[in-house]
Amino acid sequence: MAGVEVLAGDKTLTSDERGEVRLNAADQPTLLTVQRASYEPMFGQLDRNSDADQAVALRPTSVEGTVTDQASGAPIPNAKVSAVSNAGPNPTTATTGADGGYLLSNVPPDARLHVDAGDYGVIEEPVGERTRVDFQLRLSVVTGAVTGTDGTPIAGAIVTAGDAKAVTGADGTYRLTGVPDTAEVVVSAPGFEDQRAAIPADRVVNAALASQQINALYANLGVLSDPGRLDELIAIADQTEINALVVDVKQDTIYYDTQVQFFQDIEGMVTPVLDPAELLAKLDEHGIYAIARMVVFKDPVAAEGRPDLAVKDEVTGDLWRDYEGAAWVNAFNQELWEANADLAAELGNLGFDEVQYDYIRFPSDGDLTTADFGPDYSEEARRAAIRGAVALGAERVKETGAKFAIDLFPIIALMGDDQGIGQTLQDLTPLVDYVCLMVYPSHYTEGNIPVGGHPNDYPAETVTYTLEKAEELVRGSMRKMRPWLQDFTYPAEGFSEYGPAEVRAQIDAAEALGVSGWMLWNAAADYQVDALKPQS
C-alpha cells in the first residue's frame, strides 16, 4: 500500500509504491503508528532487537460500491446499506444515491453488509478484507389478486413466499416484497382451501380460492380406543355432509407417544392409545379433515407433576382445585405456553390438518377467592397471558402448514370483556385461523339473551344471536367462525330433549350467517345422524 504514514517518534515517513518504509534502528525504543485514511491504524514499538523486516497489515474501515439491477444494470437508488457487527447494536448505515453508489465509513471488524433494497429484497454477506463490494440484485416483488372461484375479492387473505408475507386489501390485491428466487406463493384464507403456485417470469400470481366448509364430529378417547366405534363415525362421514373429525389428543393425559420433553418428564402424562400415523392414514383414505384437539390449561396431571407451574390455594398452601377436584396449571407461566406450542407443532408435523386449543383460559368453575395466580390477576394481565399463549401456538402451528383454531366461551361474544378467564374475541380472533365458540343453548341462562325464554328451547335463535354479537365485536370475522353446536340433551329437569330437528335448526342458523362450517359436540360421541344432510 502506497501513501501510508508511519510515525516513528518525531518523524513522519510515507510508504512508497511498493508499500515500503525504511527506518534507521535507534538506540532507544521507538513508538510507531502506521495509518492511512479509511483504514484502522496499527501501533507498535521498534528497538535494536526487532526484526529487520516487518510486515504490517491494515484493516480497511471504509467500504464502497454500487447496488444495481441484475437484469438491466440500472442503478438502484435509496437502498439502505448497513455494516452489521456482533460487536455492537448500532450499525453503520448509508443510502445509495441516484447512481446506486454508497460509501460506508467506520466499518467494524468482522462486519457483514446488509442491503435492504425494497422491491429488490434483502441480502447480506461478509465484508472480509474488501474495500469495494458491488451488489447486483434481482427484483423480488410479487403482486396479484385473490378472489373466490366466483370472482369475488377476498380481503384479509394471507399470502406468503419464503419469509415474505402480505395481507390482501379490500379489493383482494396484495404486494409481496423480498421474495427469494426459490420460493413459491402460498395463499390461504379462512373458509377457503389453500392454494400454492410457482412464481412466473412476470412475477404476477393471481389466485381463485375454492370455498371450504368443515363440518365435524367429535371423537373422544372411547372412540379412538375402539376401532369399531371409529369406523361408525367414518361411515357417517362417508354418507353425510360430515367431512371432518375432531380427535382428542390431550385431555388430562396425552394419547399418543409425544416426543415433547416437557410432557415426557411428567410421570403419567403420556398414555399412548393411538397411533397418529395409522389414524391419519385412515382418515385421509376417506377424505376426512383431521383436527387435533388439545386441552391446554385444565391440565391436572401436569399440575400434580409440576406444582411450581400450578395454581395455588392461598388458604391451604396446596394446589387449588375446581369443583370437580381437578388442579389447573397457571396460564401466566410461559414455560406452559412453550410446552403446549411444541406439542401443537408436533401435531402439525405429524400431519393433522388443524390443531385446536381447548381450555385456553383461566379457570371459572371453582372457589376463585382462594386461588393464587400471582401478584397481578387483573383483566389486562389475564388477557395478555392468553393472547401470548395463543399467539405462540398459532405461530408454531402455521410454520408446519396446518391450521390453528381455539375454543372459546360464547359469553365473551355477548359481554365483550374477558369474563375473568382471559378470553376476548377482540384479542384472539386476529391471531387464529378459526374461532370455535361453544354455542350450546342449554348452557345459557334464561334472560341473558333476548330469545323469548330459556335459550335451550330456542336453538336457532341462540346460535343466530350469538354469532351476530360476535360479528359486532370483530367486524368481518364470520368466515373465521366455526361454532360448536349442541347434539345432546342437557341432563336436568325442565330441559327439552334435543333430537334431529333441534340439531338441524342450529346448523341451518349458523350456515345462514356465512360461517365456515360447524362442529357437533356429544361427549359420548353418539350423534343424531338424521339431522345431517346426505353427502352430495
Tell me the per-residue pLDDT of 188-228, one tens digit each, with 9 for 90 and over: 999 999 999 999 988 899 999 999 999 999 999 999 999 99
Shared fold status for 61-137 and 142-209: yes
Q: Would the pTM of this model clear 0.85, i.e. be above it?
A: no
Name the band, by pLDDT with cuts 50, 70 and 90, for residue 128.
confident
User: Class of the 61-137 domain?
Assistant: mainly beta
| Interatomic CA distance for residues 402 and 346, integer angstroms | 11
Cell output for 443: 348452557
Q: Which of 499, 517, 447, 502 is CA-nearest to residue 191?
A: 517
Helix, strand, coil percentages in the chain from 3-state DSSP, rounded to 5: 25, 30, 45
Is 70 exceeded by the pLDDT of residue 310?
A: yes
pLDDT score of 49: 83
Condensed to tens digits (0 to 9), the pLDDT of residues 516-532 reads 999 999 999 999 999 99
Name the band, by pLDDT with cuts 50, 70 and 90, for residue 38.
confident
Condensed to tens digits (0 to 9), the pLDDT of residues 131-180 reads 899 999 988 899 999 999 999 999 999 999 988 899 999 999 999 988 88
The average pLDDT across 368-390 equals: 97
Is 80 exceeded by the pLDDT of residue 89?
A: no
Condensed to tens digits (0 to 9), the pLDDT of residues 484-506 reads 999 999 999 999 999 999 999 99
| Interatomic CA distance for residues 455 and 440, integer angstroms | 9
Is 90 exceeded by the pLDDT of residue 120?
A: no
Is 90 exceeded by the pLDDT of residue 394?
A: yes
Is 310 in contact with 303 (CB distance < 8 Å)?
yes
Cell output for 226: 375402539
DSSP string, 59-73: EE--EEEEEEETTT-
Name the band, by pLDDT with cuts 50, 70 and 90, for residue 88.
low
3-class state of residue 137 by DSSP: strand
CA distances (Å), 516 to each of 227, 292, 305, 438, 512, in order?
Answer: 29, 18, 39, 15, 11
Is 80 exceeded by the pLDDT of residue 258?
A: yes
| Interatomic CA distance for residues 292 and 283, integer angstroms | 12
- CA terminus-to-terminus distance, the chain: 82
Phi, psi of 365 (to 5 degrees): -100, 85
| Interatomic CA distance for residues 237 and 246, integer angstroms | 12
Condensed to tens digits (0 to 9), the pLDDT of residues 353-369 reads 999 999 999 999 999 99
- How many residues are recorded in the chain? 536
Condensed to tens digits (0 to 9), the pLDDT of residues 312-347 reads 999 999 999 999 999 999 999 999 999 999 999 999
Is 90 exceeded by the pLDDT of residue 411?
A: yes
The domain spans of the chain are 5-59, 61-137, 142-209, 214-531
> What is the longest distance spanned by two Cα atoms in the chain?
112
pLDDT score of 205: 96
| Interatomic CA distance for residues 32 and 41, integer angstroms | 10
Please provide the average confidence, as pLDDT, over all residues in the chain.
94
Is 9 in contact with 44 (CB distance < 8 Å)?
no
Give, as one character, the DSSP assignment of residue 457.
G
Is 90 exceeded by the pLDDT of residue 381?
A: yes
For the structural domain made of 214-531, what CATH number should be given? 3.20.20.80
For residue 496, give every residue at least 6 positions away whose Cβ sits within 8 Å of its Cβ, in sequence order, or none.
456, 457, 489, 502
For the structural domain made of 142-209, what CATH number should be given? 2.60.40.1120
The average pLDDT across 369-393 equals: 97
Is 422 in contact with 470 (CB distance < 8 Å)?
no
Is 70 exceeded by the pLDDT of residue 90?
A: no
